Amino acid sequence: MRPFSITFSRQFSSSRTIRYDHILVSDPANGVKLVTLNRPNALNALFTPLVLELNDALKSADSDTSIGAIVLTGSVRAFAAGADIKEMKDKSFADVFTHDFIKNWSDATLIKKPIIAAVNGYALGGGCEMAMMADILYAGENAVFGQPEIKLGIIPGAGGTQRLARAIGKAKAMDIILTGKTFTAHEAYNWGLAAAVFPPTDLVAEAVKTAASIASYGPIAVHAAKEAINYGLQVGLDQGLTYERRLFHSLFATADQKEGMAAFAEKRAPEFKGE
Ligand code: CAA
């Protein structure tokens, strides 16, 4: 078996689609990168080689100026059924502590461009955590969310206790994490975790449509909006409001602000350049 340091070396086909062993990467619409977890035999269970590929694809999309938004999805049966239990089961405390196991699973949160998670099927454990790292979560009607780590003698380790509690509140997060029970797409929507619910067969197309819409706007403003929301969720209201206003002020230094407002006044479509 090849060591995973070289497993994810990128190969460019003639159509310039990037191929990996455990994910698929494509460009389904102008300005949109679609990353599909593709480990069907294990319900997209997250193991190190897959996570390294995913991080590589996300970083590559983030530095590609032709891309404005990213969609992350799995299969109709599973977004991801969690961390790979078979990979983890023999690890010792020294193994996981020394190598800070799963720290780099959160690299998706370092991506500047918006990420939309399109979740069909199981999003359990690390799969649910990965979906919650996205900026927008769309759920297929068949989605099954949960943090069942308690049944394995552990707790969520990639943000589950923190992001789920912030998204749906302490009471429901405690209920879900302490019991390991699952919740549905409509519950995720009603509780504020999912932004929308779609039929499973429409889900990815809807996510791509939203991503294309975001990608059509000025990338500096999109980046600033994402940064302001995420920063505000980590600080007090006054600090967040000041940060928002300073970012708002700074956008008046961009050509995109001049273009966006001129286009409105001239009743034409704006042409944003990211300048
Ligand atoms: N790790 C490794 N393999 C997994 C897996 C996982 N998390 N989830 C599913 N698989 C594998 C199964 O072992 C099985 O492989 P084999 O055919 O080789 O036996 C294959 O995927 C299909 O799974 P099932 O036969 O179990 O499918 P099912 O439809 O009967 O059940 C399921 C689906 C309810 C999702 C069940 O597979 C399941 O409970 N999976 C584990 C879910 C879980 O506990 N996730 C949390 C992991 S811990 C974690 O994520 C920690 C963290 O915070 C980072």
The position carrying tokens 């600033």 is: 224
Q: Please identify which residue in the block is written with the tokens 């994810």.
A: 8
Helices (H) and strands (E) in the chain, counts: 12, 12
Strands (E), the chain: 11-12, 18-19, 23-29, 32-37, 69-73, 78-80, 115-119, 122-124, 136-140, 144-146, 182-184, 196-198
Question: 84 C-alpha vs ligand 1 centroid, how far in Å?
Answer: 7
- Which of the residues 74, 80, 129, 218 is marked catalytic? 129
- Percent helix, strand, coil in the chain, to 5, is 50, 20, 35
Classify residue 83 by its DSSP letter. Answer: B
Q: Tell me the pLDDT of the chain (275 aa) as tens digits.
A: 333 333 344 434 334 455 699 999 999 999 999 999 999 999 999 999 999 999 999 999 999 999 999 999 999 999 999 999 999 999 999 999 999 999 999 999 999 999 999 999 999 999 999 999 999 999 999 999 999 999 999 999 999 999 999 999 999 999 999 999 999 999 999 999 999 999 999 999 999 999 999 999 999 999 999 999 999 999 999 999 999 999 999 999 999 999 999 999 999 999 999 99
The pTM of the full predicted model, rounded to 2 decimals, is: 0.94
Candidate from 37, 76, 85, 151 with most ligand 1 atoms within 8 A of CB, to mutate: 85
Active site residue 149: yes
CA of 78 to the centre of ligand 1 (A): 10
129 is catalytic: yes
Q: Which numbered atom of ligand 1 lies nearest the CA of 151?
A: 44
Measured between alpha carbons, how far is 199 from 89 in angstroms, rounded to an integer?
35
Ligand 1 environment, Cβ below 6 A = 42-43, 45, 81-86, 102, 122, 124-126, 129, 148-149, 152, 156-158, 160
Q: What angle do CA 7, 114, 186 make, to 5 degrees?
A: 100
CA atoms of 71 and 37, how far apart (whole Å): 11
